[in-house]
Amino acid sequence: MSQQTPVTRVAPLWQEWMARWPTPADLAAAPAGDAVRHWGRLGYPRRALRLHAAAVEMVERHDGDVPSTSEELLALPGVGEYTAAAVAAFAFGERIPVIDTNIRRVEARAVTGVQFPRPSLSAAERALAAELLPHEDHVLWNASSMEFGAVMCTAKAPACGECPVLDLCAWQQAGAPAYDGPARRGQAWAGTDRMVRGKLLAVLRERDGAVPHDDLRQVWDDEVQRERCLDSLVADGLVDLVGDDSFALPGHALAGDVRCGW
């Protein structure tokens, strides 16, 4: 849930999810559409489908338990390198570097001597993180490095005057040169397909059963973009086509609704 989403937005929904589905088996037993519905407005709703699919796989392959190694976690749907490492390290104590945006920035400045890392995680960064990871207190190292980047060595306003490792910082020793790598672009939102998809899903979440196509046409005036987004939601498995001209969240068509077979 916290991938690309601030924790302050995640926390209330996470608490609701844990109350509703406290175990992987509980989530796996629910329709996939329930996961999409209760994902709310966190964005990137395919994460909800992948989380549901991961729960199903935990039940089928791991007796309903969350796998304890990064290798097993990586095999789950929707689980990437960072999530696998974080769960393995923080939940099960595996000695593995957890490389998030904050840790990348701290190590880029303190060791490599640049203001920001490159946009994509490199093999050199992975090697550096593995080299720096201590054999003892490695879980604490991961957590404290992450927190240090979040509250002290921040992207926009690093508190260098209060930094406890200022004298060791390669970036400061080099005169704090400005970043000169590839452009670091923020993600646009207004008017994008992501925004339109979110608006369509919001209507579907609020309804029980199928929603007529005419109702969804009221969501966005640009017909080409709206229909493209609706088609992409169906293709992604986030929405079912019901009958000839209605739509519903997966598994949420009511008795009497006729679901299209494709």
Tokens for 134?
């201590």
At residue 142's C-alpha, the angle toward residues 138 and 145, to 5°, is 125
Tokens for 104?
């990348």
Per-residue pLDDT at 257: 55
97, 90 in Cβ contact below 8 A? no
Dihedral angle, C-alpha 254, 255, 256, 257, nearest 10 °:
30
Count Cβ atoms below 10 Å from residue 112 Cβ, excluding itself. 16
251, 31 in Cβ contact below 8 A? yes
Per-residue pLDDT at 191: 87
Per the model's pLDDT, the better-predicted residue between 141 and 244 turns out to be 141
Domain with residues 101-173, CATH architecture? Orthogonal Bundle (1.10)
Domain with residues 193-248, CATH architecture? Orthogonal Bundle (1.10)
d(CA 91, CA 142): 12
Q: What average pLDDT is seen over the chain?
A: 92
Q: What is the pLDDT of residues 169-186, one digit of tens each?
A: 999 999 999 998 887 666
Q: Is the pLDDT of residue 159 over 90?
A: yes
At residue 168's C-alpha, the angle toward residues 164 and 169, to 5°, is 90
Q: For residue 259, name the pLDDT band (cuts at 50, 70, 90).
A: very low
Average pLDDT over residues 127-143: 97
Give the chain's length: 262
Query: What's the whole-model pTM score?
Result: 0.79
Task: Give the closest residue to 64 by CA, choosing from 19, 17, 15, 29.
Answer: 29
Cα end-to-end span (Å), the chain: 30
Can you name the CATH fold of 7-92? Endonuclease III; domain 1 (1.10.340)
Exposed e or buried b per residue across 177-190, where buried means at least 16 C-beta atoms within 10 angstroms of its C-beta: eeeeeeeeeeeeee
Per-residue pLDDT at 41: 86
Q: Is the pLDDT of residue 129 over 90?
A: yes
Q: Specify the range with the lowest mean pLDDT, choosing from 18-22, 56-60, 70-74, 220-224.
A: 220-224
| Domain assignments of the chain as residue spans, ordered by start | 7-92, 101-173, 193-248
Average pLDDT over residues 52-73: 97
d(CA 234, CA 16): 26
Q: Is the pLDDT of residue 35 over 50?
A: yes
Q: What is the pLDDT of residues 4-30, one digit of tens each?
A: 788 899 999 999 999 999 999 999 999
Task: Give the closest residue to 238 by CA, choosing from 29, 30, 17, 36.
Answer: 36
